Homo-oligomer: A and B are copies of this chain.
Amino acid sequence: MTRKQLIQQIQLKKSYLCVGLDTDLTKIPKHLQSHPDAVFEFNKQIIDATQDLCVAYKINTAFYEALGLKGWEAMEKTVNYIPKDQFIIADAKRGDIGNTSSQYAKAFFETMDFDAITVAPYMGEDSVKPFLEFENKWAIVLGLTSNAGSKDFEQLRLVRDSDSCRENQSGEFLYETVLQKVSSWGNINNLMFVIGATKASELEVIRKIIPDHFLLVPGVGFQGGSLEEVSKYGMNKDCGLLINASRAIIYAGEKENFASEARAIAQQYQSEMAGYLT
């Protein structure tokens, strides 16, 4: 999917919601757990119930790999089932030396028809670039994540140069340098960033470094919470945001009506988003 097509979908649906399919066999409704194709059946009903309210689906590959062959099969079926006007993300956090990253890109962009894959930046340029070489496909590189461990490395300060050190100016955070360097390896048509930030101050700094890129923002609560903050400080003229909700939507209900419960929550996100888009 191109950037232009993604923006059109956002405008059409008045939504920048991404529904995360972190489908866990132990958490789906009891009546589905004995279904011979439980994961796909669950996903299918969630997709049917939410597709007019969201512009993207994000498949967390770990939950599928944990089931072995059967899980990989459910992932392939799910990707094939999602309508083509949706932006489909493999949340796979891959990244390796060049020829290995090329194989991962092939797995997710050719063998399966994902639009984008999340990529870990630690190994540098040659680990990211192979994902940028496919037409109308995207790498979504980890910038600042929202977990506690983001303090361990992402938020350490780098020595900028000896002058700034002598003047006792602290350097940039590692994640800021990641955003700067990685953004020079691609462009706004093939590169997005995972940004777990919800604080105004962080988003303002991030938008100075990458004003035009789309950001994939995980774990944002709705109604008066951080969705408002992220939308206010993270949005750019093309929207520039995909906000993901996984468990809050897909596990909204535990019974036969789980899909309509999921729809109700997705609807709340979409309604609030429509307000921020005008």
Chain A residues in the interface with B (C-beta under 8 A): 22, 24, 60, 62-63, 65-69, 72-73, 76, 91, 93-98, 100-101, 103-104, 106-108, 110-112, 120-128, 142, 145-154, 156-159, 162, 165-166, 168, 170-171, 174, 177-178, 181
Contact = CB atoms under 8 A, between A and B. Distances in A.
Contacts of A159: 156-159, 165, 170-171
A69 B69 contact: yes
Nearest to A127: B149
B151 A124 contact: yes
Given A120-B93, A168-B162, A66 B106 contact: yes
Nearest to A247: B99
Contact of A147 (B60, B98, B120): B98
Contacts of A97: 145-147, 149
A118 B260 CA distance: 40
Contacts of A110: 66
Given A60-B103, A159-B165, 19 more contacts: A60-B96, A62-B94, A62-B107, A65-B103, A65-B104, A68-B107, A69-B69, A69-B72, A97-B149, A120-B123, A123-B147, A124-B151, A124-B154, A125-B149, A127-B149, A153-B181, A156-B158, A156-B177, A157-B159
Nearest to A151: B124
B93 A94 contact: yes
Q: How many copies does the complex hold?
A: 2
Contact of A103 (B63, B76, B98): B63
Contacts of A151: 124
A92 to B, nearest CB: 9
A138 B123 CA distance: 21
Q: Which 4 interchain pairs have the tightest Cβ spacing?
A: A124-B149, A124-B152, A62-B103, A65-B107
A107 B66 contact: yes
A46 to B, nearest CB: 18
Nearest to A156: B158
A168 to B, nearest CB: 6
Given A104-B62, A107-B62, A148 B165 contact: no
B165 A142 contact: no
Contacts of A76: 68-69
